[in-house]
Amino acid sequence: MNRNVLYLIIGALAVTTGVLSYQLYQERQKTTGIEINLDKSGISIEKK
């Protein structure tokens, strides 16, 4: 029983590390800079 709990804790830590790593990767993939849109209402400039 003790060994199974240890495996469960290690597995949970591995999954948590994977999820947090993926979230960090997604956050760094966001583009930064300026977005310029031209539509019927005119020009809009947005800083990202």
**Helices within the chain (DSSP H only):** 2-29
- Per the DSSP assignment, residues forming a β-bridge with 44 are 37
The pLDDT of residue 22: 96
CA dihedral 25, 26, 31, 32 (to 10 degrees): -70
The pLDDT, as a whole number, for residue 31 is: 73
Return all residues near 5 (Cβ < 8 A) that are at least 6 apart: none
pLDDT of residue 19: 97
- Could you list the pLDDT tens digit for every one of the 48 residues in the chain? 789 999 999 999 999 999 999 999 998 887 778 888 998 889 998 887
